[in-house]
Structure 1
């Protein structure tokens, strides 16, 4: 466990030295804060009329990104949509990551019929296009936020399950696992206390990617009419903007695209940084590369001297 703790401590230090990663973490924190404030109804009501229809952006806070057809603030609608997007990302991740970790660990550790059954299950799921499966499940459960979260959560664990399974297959016969068996640890203790702590970095990386995928999927589903039906949503704003662009009304689409870009870009940067910092293989490659560059620099300095 000390080795695992050292890994995360070193990863945190490495991330803190990267300015772009720190900035992106700050942007993500702002989005989370907006979602939390929206949950406590602290944000301005996006349904309140603040001006005339389709007013262009101005320096007034409520009209910073202009107004829509009903004179409502585009900025306030984006903030309300942020709450929806972050809520979906967190809920979908909370469902899919535990499923992927548990099923992957069971398949990799036990093998045999357990492995065959789980592999068959995720092969069937992955053989059908993701969006079509989400639409089908949401139609069965019912349209709305809960249906979308359940559908995406029940389908989004496949990739992580494969990763965890492959890592557990590699580690289940290592010496520290054999030592745990010798001292009398049962299967659950070995899986959750000895094996998973050494592969859980995959779940952390997958969680950040899962949030990103859930947000994009919600926008696509709402845009085609099977997503969020009530409340503010970035997908609904993009759907409404398709007719507004013909009239030269560009600011609603520009505002929501900018909000999506900042969040998606930040999540991508943080996901890549987490992968580089936590994946032992990439860490080893990076350390070797850094060591080689330092050696070359010293050799060049010696030659100059």
Structure 2
């Protein structure tokens, strides 16, 4: 069996795909880069926004045509699109051989044989070996009115610090010199496990465990969880890059309230001004939504 995996969507999906590929290789399966060489294709899908849904369905339809022409034997559709539209998709796309949502990675591995007993660190190499993503958890508790993530991925669930340290060290041993922390909202990391946010504790643990030439980058910080303490920590750290990804989504108080976003214009401006005042070279990345609702 020769397997090709297509990854759609975000960085968190890329991590899931790397872990799945690592498990499949541990099962002795052959992974191929060229879809034309494969007899089995796995699509790790995205169901976040409508254009992504349409793109993913088009990919699945293309694979069905390949199967009808005898160019494929098996199609496996996994991930967020199945969480959101699984029942409907199963009715409309009957030639797909396996459906599995974003919590059913064991089901995918079992489809191809007996999965390993443990596979938390079985990640295949990423597209950029020197910069790797470290996913700190799943889900989200924010429930923004425009966002489907809680309904797709569920409530926020953090990975314990000990497990993250082990995975980070494995990535470094494979050549990574930048570890990018990703999650739906890094600022609430650890709340479900420890009773309060533990992002700074995680950063301290990484600082103590990683070689001195490895840097850490923070991605996806809800502005409601960013405060002066975090900004000062990042600005004063040799380990953590002076780079914050803070998606504000909008700056108008009325629109933010309709989005169910707790921050207003005044606080957002204060945060950004404080970051610039703390370090004029601070890199601030954000996302702004237009056309809401």
Bigger Rg, which one: 1
Q: Which has the higher helix share?
A: 1
Higher relative CO (Cα under 8 Å, sequence separation at least 6) belongs to 1
- After TM superposition, the score normalised by the length of structure 1 is 0.21
Q: Which has the higher strand share?
A: 2
- After TM superposition, the score normalised by the length of structure 2 is 0.22
